[in-house]
Amino acid sequence: MAPPILNLDNIHLTFGGTPLLSGASLTVSLGDRIALVGRNGSGKSTLLKIAAGLVEPQEGEIFRQPTATVRYLPQAPDWQGHRTVRAYVEAGLGPADDINRVAMVLDHLGLTGDETPESLSGGEARRAALARVLAPQPDLLLLDEPTNHLDIAAIEWLEDELQRSSSALVMISHDRRFLERISRTTVWLDRGITRRLDKGFAHFEDWRDKVLEEEEREQEKLARQIAREEHWLRYGVTARRKRNVRRLAQLHELRAKQRSYRGAEGVATMAASDSAVSGKLVLEAKNISKSFGDRVVVKDFSIRVQRGDRIGLVGPNGAGKTTLLKMLTGVLEPDSGTVRLGTNLQIATLDQNRAALDPNETLAHFLTDGRGETVVVNGEERHVVSYMKDFLFKPEQARTPVRELSGGEKARLVLARLLSRPANFLVLDEPTNDLDMETLDLLQELIQDFPGTVLLVSHDRDFLDRTVTSTIAPEGNGVWLEYVGGYSDMLAQRKGRELERRKARPQEEKSARPAQEAPRQSSRKLSYKQKFALETLPGKIEEATKKIAELEQKLSDPSLYSRDFQAFQRMTAELEELRASLSKMEEEWLELEMLREEIEGA
């Protein structure tokens, strides 16, 4: 195994009360791809800051290879002293780094570098922060929520970039698909300690459930052992005549062990408040359009939404998802076309900017709207502290100002208020931002079981696949289309439609030609070279696919980078060439196959 470039051992840290870290460890070697997972508030970001040298633990040993370069992606970038994005990104370069990579990375992330920090949207600021850590190509990348506020196109580019990178990675993310594609190792931070699984995140949840089940069995055994010892202490013959000091001490130890056990973190309880049933038709939009100046955001879009539909909106940042959402729900008037809302609608809306949050308001005041100490949920009054516990808040947080909450806690608070209101139509704009995976699972189940209608915007591909019944996506120039199924279904339908379009194109060209050309067209034949290519390309494609799989298997060895750097570089270059060659051969074969079908059908 390659020597570690970072090693954290037996790390302890307490900010008053229950220790945040009580023996956490993290070892990173060259080529590692580590997913650092755990509940919101478990200390993941703090552990990453300790790894980056930004926070000092109270106990524990830290080793960082002196010659290794480390770059850390914070959740909130610090723009102080930087007038433009380019200046901010270049400030992250080391003496040996290539400054030309800055322009390349910025271009791939959709930035020019001339933007000023105050002009950036949340997604643009995130991309600038990513550019700062990706441009140097460090030995170790520490990424805290790299996909937050990125659109799907940017997330997929980031996945490709990280897969090509030779940097070791430690990643915190709540995007399942991102972690499944990138990670090879999973470190679980739970109740202050870490556990390591030498497999990617795709295997984590089954492993975690087995660990927790084993813990429960151990606690049951401990409880039975204590009961036996207490029985002996009360009724044993020896105990009546003379105290067995050693056995009594063991009983005290067992009780102390039982008291000190911190069970698994609680699970949020989510349920939408009951509401009257809406009409069967929830909304109908006919040929709606919206422009801002010369820019067409929505053009002639029509849709009928029935009760029970769960519809997802996807697309790049700035494509107009929120604009379309507001028009469909009657918040924004279209320039042309009509929107008709159904009867008996009770709409509950989650805004992506959490606009309803006042940083100085307390949690209890926010949930009750300042009306006493109770919340009405499903027609029943509940004390606000009891309701807060359903969303994993502690009783003492009732008087805590909103400004002191983490991003994940703010997201849970907004959901708690939203779900306390009676609704039969949920409108959710980026509901997955800052939620941990367990809370995401519950939100997913809520949406699946919700008897009303759901309209949501999200960049979380896995969440969309698990929840929506149809997906609305932009096609360019203000055109939006609805596809049946989730995000993956939409991609498959787009691909199939593009193949059909390619097949139809030669036939359309043939129909458009003058009639006198028809006899000459029917006599066309494939050339010898084209026939030979059509026969041999499938074998070449299969051979290239096998070679790519072999190279990917060799490059998955985490020790290759440090053991034989030249081989690593050679294989990486060869893999890129093979992928490009494979893509070219597939395109050529498809064109020849369509040409053959056209000639045979003429």
342 is in an annotated binding site: no
pLDDT at 581 over 60: yes
d(CA 84, CA 103): 13
Cα–Cα distance measured from residue 149 to residue 152, given in angstroms and rounded to the nearest whole number:
10
Whether 414 and 394 have beta carbons less than 8 Å apart is answered as no
Write out the E strands in 173-280.
185-190, 193-197
The reply, when asked if residue 43 is annotated as ligand binding, is yes
Q: Which of 81, 74, 129 is nearest to 105 (CA)?
A: 129
The answer on pLDDT for 33 being more than 90 is yes
Question: What is the reported pLDDT for 336?
Answer: 95
Distances in whole angstroms, Cα of residue 187 to Cα of each of 70, 174, 232: 19, 14, 42
- Is residue 354 scored above 70 in pLDDT? no
For 281-489, CATH gives 3.40.50.300
Residue 433 counted as an annotated binding residue? no
Report strand pairing: 281-292 vs 193-197. unpaired
Lowest mean pLDDT among 21-25, 411-415, 506-510, 560-564: 506-510
How would residue 522 be classed by pLDDT, with cut points 50, 70 and 90? very low
* CB-neighbour burial class of residue 340 (10 A; exposed 0-12, middle 13-18, buried 19+): exposed
Q: What's 54's DSSP letter? A: S
Give the pLDDT band (50/70/90) at residue 239: very low
On whether 308 is known to bind a ligand per the annotation, the reply is no
Which alpha helices (DSSP H) does 40-121 contain, by range?
Answer: 44-52, 85-90, 100-108
Q: Is 183 exposed, middle or buried (0-12, 13-18, 19+ CB in 10 A)?
A: buried
Work out the percent of the chain whose per-residue pLDDT is above 90: 37
Looking at residue 241, its pLDDT comes to 44
Q: How confident is the model at residue 521 (pLDDT cuts 50, 70, 90)?
A: very low
- Residues 57 and 21: their CA atoms lie apart, in Å, by 9
Statement: residue 133 has pLDDT above 90 = yes
What span, in angstroms and rounded, lies between the C-alpha atoms of 214 and 329? 49
Report residue 417's pLDDT band, with 50, 70 and 90 as the boundaries.
Answer: confident
pLDDT (average), residues 582-596: 76
Q: What number is the average pLDDT over the span 265-277?
A: 64
> How many helices (H) and strands (E) are present in the chain, helices listed first?
20, 20
576 pLDDT band (50/70/90 cuts)? confident
Tell me 474's DSSP state.
E
What span, in angstroms and rounded, lies between the C-alpha atoms of 311 and 298? 17
Is the model more confident about 489 or about 566?
A: 489
Q: Which long-range contacts (CB under 8 A, 24 or more apart) does 290-294 make?
A: 290/320, 290/323, 290/324, 290/327, 290/332, 290/334, 290/335, 291/335, 291/478
Q: How far apart are CA 41 and CA 409, in angstroms?
A: 9
279-320: pLDDT as tens digits: 899 999 999 999 999 899 999 999 999 999 999 999 988 789
Which candidate, 436, 492, 491, 486, places its Cα nearest to that of 464? Answer: 486
Residues of the chain with CATH 3.40.50.300: 4-206, 281-489
Lowest-confidence range among 190-199, 223-232, 359-368, 456-465?
A: 223-232
Determine how β-strand 470-476 pairs with β-strand 310-313: parallel
Q: In whole angstroms, what is the distance from residue 442 CA to residue 393 CA? A: 16
359-376 mean pLDDT? 87
> Residue 313 has what pLDDT?
95
Report yes or no: 472 and 481 within 8 Å, Cβ to Cβ: yes
42 is known to lie in a ligand binding site: yes
Identify the pLDDT of residue 482.
94
- Asked if residue 44 belongs to a known ligand binding site, the reply is yes
**Res 497: pLDDT:** 79
Q: In the structure encoding, which two tokens stand for residue 409, read together?
A: 């806690």
Task: Give the least confident one: 10-19, 165-174, 448-457, 506-515.
Answer: 506-515
Question: Picking from 54-58, 526-530, 598-602, which range would have the lowest pLDDT averaged per residue?
Answer: 598-602
447-481 pLDDT, tens digit per residue, is 888 889 999 999 999 999 999 999 999 998 999 99
Q: CATH 1.10.287.380 spans which residues of the chain?
A: 513-601
Do the beta carbons of residue 123 and residue 150 sit within 8 Å?
yes
CA 29 to chain centre: 25
Tell me if 45 is assigned to a ligand binding site.
Answer: yes
Q: How far apart are CA 168 and CA 170, in angstroms?
A: 7
Report, at the CATH architecture level, how domain 513-601 is classified. Answer: Orthogonal Bundle (1.10)
Whole-number pLDDT of residue 517: 47
Least confident of 224-238, 309-323, 468-482, 579-593: 224-238
| Residue 233: predicted pLDDT | 64
135 is in an annotated binding site: no
**Residue 178 to residues 33, 34, 92, 185, 557: CA-CA distances in angstroms?**
12, 12, 25, 13, 20
319: annotated binding-site residue?
A: yes
Residue pair 295/335 in contact (Cβ under 8 Å)? The answer is no
Q: In what order do the strands lie in the sheet with 281-292?
A: 295-306, 281-292, 336-341
Q: Is 547 annotated as a binding residue?
A: no
Query: Mean pLDDT over all residues of the chain?
Result: 83
Establish whether 221 is an annotated binding residue: no
Tokens 């930004």 sit at which residue?
54
Return the CATH number of the domain spanning residue range 4-206. 3.40.50.300
Angle at which helices 565-601 and 528-555 pack, to 10 degrees?
150
pLDDT for 513 beyond 60 = no
One-character DSSP codes across 502-563? HHHHHHHHHHHS-GGGHHHHHT----HHHHHHHHHHHHHHHHHHHHHHHHHHHHT-TTHHHH
Its pTM surpasses 0.75 = no
